[in-house]
Amino acid sequence: MENPGRAGEPPGSAALTAQALAARVASGDTRAAARACRLVDEGWPGHAELLAALYSRGAATWTIGVTGSPGVGKSTLCSRLVQHFRAQGGRVAVVAVDPTSPFTGGAILGDRIRMQAHWEDPDVFVRSVATRGAHGGLSRTAADVARVLGAWGARVVLIETVGVGQDELDVMRVADTTLVIQAPGAGDDVQAAKAGLLECADVFAVNKADLPGADDVVDALRGMLVLGHITGSSAAPRAGHSAAAFAAAVTTDAAAAGAAWDVPVSACVATRDQGIDALVTQLEAHRSWLQSSDAGRARRRERLRQELAGRVREALSAAWLAAHPGDLDRAAEQVASGALDPYAATLLLLASAAPG
Amino acid sequence: MENPGRAGEPPGSAALTAQALAARVASGDTRAAARACRLVDEGWPGHAELLAALYSRGAATWTIGVTGSPGVGKSTLCSRLVQHFRAQGGRVAVVAVDPTSPFTGGAILGDRIRMQAHWEDPDVFVRSVATRGAHGGLSRTAADVARVLGAWGARVVLIETVGVGQDELDVMRVADTTLVIQAPGAGDDVQAAKAGLLECADVFAVNKADLPGADDVVDALRGMLVLGHITGSSAAPRAGHSAAAFAAAVTTDAAAAGAAWDVPVSACVATRDQGIDALVTQLEAHRSWLQSSDAGRARRRERLRQELAGRVREALSAAWLAAHPGDLDRAAEQVASGALDPYAATLLLLASAAPG
């Protein structure tokens, strides 16, 4: 496989048009796909035209979000999933969402240390994304890169996140199917982190099922899911103050849509390739549910609505910043000096018709 | 201590004015502070007036962001820090940023299971925040709640996050001083998650220093910090493709500001109260640097600029949504049906002067 970071010419070189690049990506050209991913990630001016041209090509691609707390064996399990999907035929891609450097904006981890097992397979494409803010949030960048890879020919795109924060939840929501990985041996802290992931799971995998305590994790997840179903359709009280509120907050995506997707929990041992076939079957069942049920279609519409809302928000913000050069700096200076509070400063910024 | 979730009357009850509530908070009334936190978190219409009235009261408060991967003993160490700061006198508050439920918007973990050791101390206030989008991002909510607690009389406000995602990094950036906790025994996955945290650390604590491997963690952090200092002031290449690029990406906040804050790394054992005094001394040294150096003041201005940018972005978005009811739903429907791609739909949404 080509190294995606080094393929092609730099943006802006002669003869690069969005349409020409789109045609090359759609023909299955890996170098072109790598270049398109990079241009999308970097906010190349033609990226919207490129993505629009590729959109219909990737519409049939199945995106699977994979997440879980650090230490649960996410990378190993992802690698196994790639192997199983590749064995079914067709191309597979992995979009790895890395913690972003606040200063360079670049991915820290990079493509290089991931998926070494698939490095030589020309039909497996691994790409890290980490940019945020160039032309939208991290979740929109991940969605865009997944679409490029769908147009390149990937039948399945795995979107893998490191971390358990709010932004990672957003990334998961751009996927068709979300797989949350758990493992035995986590402390209270990890339990807490897990809570945020419960609600976005379509399928749970309890990895490292050969370790002590794995059955307890499976049982606990099933118990939470049952509680979630019981209370899922009622108006949930504000969570965080009682066990009942906690249970009420555990509604699954499916329950929220008023439908009948029962979130399965399965045990596996990724290092030994145990339980992966069964997991793939469960993931595929969720995909069928999405395509064949009203609730599944409603979920897709809601996801698109969220995506459009995010794109509109970023565009409005970019337009404002372009129209008000220097205003933010001046306002920050006034707040720092004590002349204004941040709330009054915001109102003044919004009220200024022209840069002050 | 009053349970913050139950104090006071509901929003909108008679006689509640932002000014009256602000006066009660500023007098040190804990019930009023709890109520103010809740109103801020819930996006009460008067929250901006309330915060503006409280702003100058909390301006001297020192906010410390505390983060680290799950399992490093964050809660225990935070509890120790509360104990040490309380021993110095004055009030202390903790703002716990929880993973948010995407459906209820509420905190999953809640205040209840945190900080049990300080539950009966009336001068320690613990508050969870999880809301995002009500009137700004999670980081802005955390900043607002920290300001309420500063006005209530907290000399120190700890802002603790669960998780290692991008949103958590944003939360850390609203704090004056950021403490990143590490521990021995983490796998590759945790190493990766850690990378994103390196750049926001003002002080590192290696907890569980009685476990094997703790010295290695200390050495590795110091090595990374040295590399960061060497390359920190040059233009960093895009990270993720080589060890050199990785090193270049590891610039500290201090280095980015062109100043002389050397990020210290200290070992501690929170469960045994070992090394906490030294850690507190390091944190205080950072605060002095912030107040007494040009770089420290520049950092504060940049943080305020980021905050204002976020507030403006959210306000623009809210105004657009209010002016275009139903537009997003219709556009999502058209994308779902295949009549439009998301990129064309966004352009159409932005071009529509009036709802279509």
Among the partner-chain residues A193, A199, A331, the one whose CB lies closest to the CB of B103 is A199
Whether residue B321 is contained in a domain is answered as no
Q: Give the lowest-confidence range in B7-21, B104-118, B287-301, B324-338.
A: B104-118
Domain count for chain A, please give it: 1
User: Residue B192 and residue A246: Cβ atoms within 8 Å?
Assistant: no
Among the partner-chain residues A70, A192, A245, the one whose CB lies closest to the CB of B193 is A70
Query: What is the per-residue pLDDT for B253?
Result: 42
Whether residue A178 is contained in a domain is answered as yes
User: Residue A52 and residue B341: Cβ atoms within 8 Å?
Assistant: yes
| Chain B partners within 8 Å of A107 (Cβ) | 239-240
Q: Is the separation of the CB atoms in B308 and B139 below 8 Å?
A: no
Q: How far apart are CA B330 and CA B345, in angstroms?
A: 10
Q: Give the lowest-confidence range in B191-195, B223-227, B279-283.
A: B191-195
Q: CA B36: distance to chain centroid?
A: 18
**Residue B288 pLDDT class (50, 70, 90 cuts):** very high
Whether residue B78 is contained in a domain is answered as yes
Domain containing residue A235: 58-294
Helix (H, G, I), strand (E, B) or coil at A125: strand
Tell me the mean pLDDT in the region B120-133: 76
What does pTM read for this prediction?
Answer: 0.70
Give residue-wise pLDDT tens across range B66-83.
987 767 888 889 999 999
Give residue-wise pLDDT tens across range A139-156.
778 889 999 999 999 999
Tell me the mean pLDDT in the region B193-212: 79
Whether residue B144 is contained in a domain is answered as yes
Q: Is B353 on the interface with A (CB under 8 A)?
A: no
User: Residue B329 and residue A108: Cβ atoms within 8 Å?
Assistant: no
Helix (H, G, I), strand (E, B) or coil at A126: strand
Chain A to chain B Cβ contacts (< 8 Å): 343
| Chain B partners within 8 Å of A236 (Cβ) | 103-104, 106
Whether residue A8 is contained in a domain is answered as no
Q: How far apart are CA A81 and CA A270, in angstroms?
A: 9
| Chain B partners within 8 Å of A71 (Cβ) | 70-71, 186-187, 189-190
Whether residue A164 is contained in a domain is answered as yes
User: Residue B332 and residue A162: Cβ atoms within 8 Å?
Assistant: no
User: Which B-chain residues 307-326 have CB contacts (< 8 A) with chain A?
Assistant: 307-309, 311-313, 315-317, 320-321
Nearest residue in B to A164, CA atom? B163
| Chain B partners within 8 Å of A188 (Cβ) | 75, 113
Which stretches of chain A score pLDDT less than 70?
Answer: 1-15, 70, 98-117, 119, 130-137, 162-169, 186-199, 227-259, 353-356
| Chain B partners within 8 Å of A242 (Cβ) | 112
Residue of B190, B300, B312 to mutate, testing the A interface (most A Cβ within 10 Å of its Cβ): B312
Residue A177 contacts by C-beta under 8 Å, 6 or more apart in sequence? A62, A63, A64, A65, A202, A203, A283, A286, A287, A290
DSSP assignment letter at A210: T
B18 or A98: whose pLDDT is higher? B18
Give residue-wise pLDDT tens across range B208-245.
999 988 888 888 888 777 766 544 333 333 333 222 23
**How buried is residue A281: exposed, middle or buried, by Cβ count under 10 Å (0-12/13-18/19+)?**
exposed
Whether residue B25 is contained in a domain is answered as no
- In chain A, the N- to C-terminal Cα span, in Å, equals 53
CATH number at residue B122: 3.40.50.300
User: Residue B312 and residue A297: Cβ atoms within 8 Å?
Assistant: no
- Asked if the ipTM is above 0.85, the reply is no
Query: What is the per-residue pLDDT for B129?
Result: 77
Whether residue A53 is contained in a domain is answered as no
Residue A113 contacts by C-beta under 8 Å, 6 or more apart in sequence? B188
Q: Which sign does the torsion angle of CA A261, A265, A266, A271 carry?
A: positive
HSE-CB of A244 using CA atoms within 13 angstroms: 4
